């Protein structure tokens, strides 16, 4: 704290070891002190904990790790480390450094299911009052190499990335009560700018920066895949591998469900389209423009330009044709071209698809089905802006992939809260940042006794009705098993 003096009618900022003084309110002094007891700003995190009980997320995620530490020396099991890290991300704490302060918070310890949330029974005196792990312990969780074993010195918790990726798919499958008739798998890659000397660091000309290009696959609001990729390679380099993995798993559960793969022009690659065609998977992909394609739409562009000049409005028309590249494609395919002219000039677009003309007319296919993929971009922004998926700042590529997985499970947790707790409420479609602000960032005083943990929540909290509604819906839904 700092001290200072000022005249009564001027700016006053006077502090002592106990109180901090601010501008007067009329004749009244305004003072504050850190003497309110054990308080937390994250009391709404209890809703996340209730949500997690429906997923059994952390027990299943911890099974994807092999812990080579000596059991009798372990104070923080893997499941609790994962809870601390992922709950922290969901609550807005993006850095490992934050946890050196958060480890004092008994509310976060309650979320992590610590039986001693005040840390009074820690083995070492220096750790008393700190129930949770510090940044160094959490850092070892991320930095453990794949070949670590019991003889390794520090990093001894090995992550099975394949198992973690499979868990994302299993959680998605369990979110549906019955087999859907059709699933649309949206693919996209985005830039994740990096500013250090991370493994896999490459300059990407399109984004004009050094970055990673993580690949995301969503089905609606549900996340199925988040794979870190270098910017040296084509964004679609792993698309066949990831789509085939997902399709196999989905068909094991729902063999009759039809699957449509949707993506922009970055995924219009012959290997992906050929795989889909050979495995009875439909696709709808953007098709980059070239001189041959533009020639097909030349007359259409003239007509829509004339119509625009007459009406002053944006005019568009659609043309369907068969098309094959001279070298890169293995076969001829159905292509839809959109000729459009507006105040900004002409902007022709193309898509390629396996969807047949009998059920999907060109305008419907482009405007109603293809353009709907834009919603996925909002989900990626939510991942990066609200849940810190771009915090890939550690040196090792493997560790950065694990960080991306942690933010992915934070998203899964928030999405489950939306799907179960927020259903039917006015914030049912709210993004993670809004949910955090309105429901999770809730002030409360916590007391811990032998029989009870009690939170005294803010009387003036403006969303009490919403909070109770979400809590009630979480209680009504039966727990698994």
CA 421 to chain centre: 18
List of long-range contacts for 151-155, beta carbons under 8 Å, 24+ apart:
152/68
What's the pLDDT at 2?
A: 36
Rg (CA), the chain: 27
Among the listed residues 42, 60, 45, 86, the one whose alpha carbon sits nearest the alpha carbon of residue 412: 86
What's the pLDDT at 339?
A: 95
Q: What is the 3-state secondary structure (H, E, C) of 2-59?
A: CCCCCCCCCCCCCECCCCEEEEEECCEEEEECCCCCCEECCCCHHHHHHHHHHHCHHH
DSSP state of 437: I
The string of pLDDT tens digits covering residues 382-424 is 999 999 999 999 999 999 999 999 999 999 999 999 999 999 9
What's the pLDDT at 6?
A: 42
From CA 180, how far away is CA 183, in angstroms rounded? 7
What's the pLDDT at 3?
A: 37
Q: In what order do the strands lie in the sheet with 444-448?
A: 39-40, 444-448, 453-457
What's the pLDDT at 147?
A: 94
DSSP string for 375-435? HHHHHHHIIIIIS-TT---SS-HHHHHHHHHHHHHHHHHHHHIIIIISTTSTTTT--HHHH
Q: Which residue has the tokens 């922004």?
A: 381
Cβ distance 336 to 365 under 8 Å? yes
* Element housing 78 (H / E): helix 78-90
The string of pLDDT tens digits covering residues 170-188 is 999 999 989 999 999 999 9
What's the pLDDT at 9?
A: 43
Where does residue 461 rank: exposed (0-12), middle (13-18), buried (19+ CB within 10 A)? middle
Which residues sit opposite 285 in a β-bridge?
263, 352
What's the pLDDT at 37?
A: 83
Residues of the chain with confidence (pLDDT) below 70? 1-17, 481
What's the pLDDT at 481?
A: 66
Cβ distance 380 to 214 under 8 Å? no
Cβ distance 412 to 168 under 8 Å? yes
């Amino acid at each position: 704290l700092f001290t200072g003096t000022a005249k009564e009618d001027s700016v006053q900022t006077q502090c002592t070891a106990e109180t901090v003084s601010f501008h007067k309110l009329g004749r009244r002094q305004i003072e504050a002190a850190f003497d309110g007891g054990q308080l937390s700003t994250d009391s709404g995190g209890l809703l996340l904990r209730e949500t997690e009980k429906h997923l059994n997320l952390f027990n299943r995620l911890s099974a994807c790790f092999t812990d080579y530490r000596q059991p009798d020396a372990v104070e923080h099991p893997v499941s609790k480390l994962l809870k601390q890290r992922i709950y922290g991300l969901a609550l807005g704490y993006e850095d490992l450094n934050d946890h050196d302060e958060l480890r004092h918070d008994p509310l976060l310890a309650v979320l992590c299911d610590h039986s001693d949330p005040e840390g009074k029974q820690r083995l070492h005196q220096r750790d008393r009052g700190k129930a949770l792990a510090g940044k160094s312990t959490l850092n070892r969780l991320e930095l453990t190499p794949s070949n670590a074993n019991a003889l390794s010195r520090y990093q001894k918790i090995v992550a099975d990335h394949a198992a973690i990726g499979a868990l994302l798919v299993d959680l998605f499958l369990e979110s549906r009560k019955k087999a859907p008739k059709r699933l649309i798998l949206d693919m996209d890659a985005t830039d994740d700018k990096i500013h250090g000397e991370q493994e896999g660091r490459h300059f990407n000309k399109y984004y004009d920066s050094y970055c990673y290009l993580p690949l995301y696959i969503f089905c609606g609001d549900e996340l199925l895949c988040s794979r870190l990729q270098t910017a040296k390679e084509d964004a679609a380099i792993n698309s066949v591998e990831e789509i085939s993995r997902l399709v196999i798993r989905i068909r094991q559960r729902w063999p009759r469900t039809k699957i449509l793969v949707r993506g922009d022009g970055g995924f219009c690659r012959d290997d992906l389209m050929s795989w889909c065609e050979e495995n009875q998977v439909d696709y709808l992909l953007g098709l980059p423009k070239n001189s041959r394609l533009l020639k097909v739409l030349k007359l259409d562009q003239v007509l829509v330009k004339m119509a625009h000049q007459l009406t002053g409005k944006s005019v568009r028309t659609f043309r369907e044709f068969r098309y094959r590249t001279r070298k890169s494609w293995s076969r001829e395919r159905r292509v839809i071209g959109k000729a459009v002219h507006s105040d900004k000039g002409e902007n022709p677009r193309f898509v390629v698809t396996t969807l047949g003309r009998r059920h999907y007319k060109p305008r419907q296919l482009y405007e109603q089905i293809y353009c709907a993929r834009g919603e996925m971009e909002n989900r990626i922004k939510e991942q990066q802006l609200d849940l810190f998926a771009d915090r890939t700042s550690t040196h090792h590529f493997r560790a950065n992939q694990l960080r991306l997985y942690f933010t992915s499970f934070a998203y899964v947790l928030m999405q489950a809260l939306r799907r179960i707790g927020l259903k039917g409420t006015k914030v049912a479609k709210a993004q993670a940042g809004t949910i955090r602000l309105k429901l999770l960032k809730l002030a409360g005083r916590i007391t811990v006794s032998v029989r009870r943990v009690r939170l005294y929540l803010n009387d003036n909290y403006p969303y009490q009705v919403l909070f109770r509604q979400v809590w009630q819906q979480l209680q009504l839904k039966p727990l698994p098993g």
